[in-house]
Structure 1
Amino acid sequence: KHDLEALRKLIDEYKPSEMLVGVPYHSDGTVSKRGQGILKFAEVLKKTFSIPVEFWDESYSTVSAEEVLLEADLSRRKRKKVIDKMAAVFILEGYLESKRSEKSEVRSQNTGEDF
């Protein structure tokens, strides 16, 4: 409930058109046990806020974030403070890049040109 209240405040303030939820998958493409819980929570989000929820594979986002932070030579304590935020950035970047690619393909199909 506390999470939903915090989200409601953010939604009221920023008025997003959709929410992005990272879902962890196994290497064979099946949803992990933790991912199943996340999908259930996403259903609560849809019903509570009436905002479309998009899903994105968050697999390896933490590993990628850890690599970047190690290259930046951050101490373990500092990495621990920012790792989840950095992983969220990777998830969002992947999603946005996917959307850009989709738009580019649609434009290409509509104009008959290759981009």
Structure 2
Amino acid sequence: MRILCLDIGSRRVGVAISDPLKITAQPLCIVDLKNEDLYLTLDGIFEKYQITKIVVGYPLSKFHPDEKTENLKRIDEICNDLERRYKVEVVKWDERFSTKAVERVLSEENMSWKKKKKVVDKLSAVYILQGYLDFINS
């Protein structure tokens, strides 16, 4: 019984998963939307793990949190698709600062931008999911 997390971007989707006890988040993969089908990848994940819930990073505006941007509308559509396809609860979790927080941590590492780009989406999903897990466990 695990929780899956998606950090949905325009080109890539970072994917993280909880441990069975729902205490810690681990990076799972990155889905490159130009070369991979998100739902085929998720089908494989659902087949391999017992997923009971999906947490989706929801990038609310810092200054206008009630404003629905085109990006939020697209994420809303994906969330609806996920609920219909996998029959699990989908939780939209505020992720306003996740990518910046991960980029800040990675900037402290002596790593090339090319390498950072390969992990930032996956680690953002971990950051989002860990925040959610900490919230539900407090």
TM-score range for the pair, normalised by the shorter chain length? 0.7 to 0.9
**CA RMSD between the two structures:** 1.5
Structure in which a larger fraction of residues adopt helix: 1
- In structure 1, give the amino acid aligned to 2:38: D
* 1:6 and 2:41 are equivalent in the alignment: yes
Match of 1:23 in 2: 58
Q: Choose the corresponding residue for 2:127, options 84, 90, 94.
A: 90
How far the C-alpha of 1:6 sits from its partner, in A, is 1.6
For residues 32 and 86 of structure 1, the distance between their equivalents in structure 2, rounded to whole angstroms, comes to 24
Taking structure 1 as the reference length, the TM-score comes to 0.81
Match of 1:113 in 2: none
Contact preservation (8 Å) 1:25, 1:57: yes
Q: Structure 1 segments of 4 or more deviating over 3 A?
A: none
Taking structure 2 as the reference length, the TM-score comes to 0.68
TM-superposition CA deviations, 1:50-75 (whole Å, max 9, x none): 11111111111110000000012221
Which blocks of at least 5 consecutive residues in structure 1 are unaligned? 102-115
* 1:55 and 2:92 are equivalent in the alignment: yes
For residues 13 and 87 of structure 1, the distance between their equivalents in structure 2, rounded to whole angstroms, comes to 22
- In structure 1, give the amino acid aligned to 2:117: K
- Between structure 1 and structure 2, the one with the greater Rg is 1
Structure in which a larger fraction of residues adopt strand: 2
Match of 1:105 in 2: none
Contact preservation (8 Å) 1:21, 1:42: yes
* 1:43 and 2:80 are equivalent in the alignment: yes
- In structure 2, give the amino acid aligned to 1:97: D
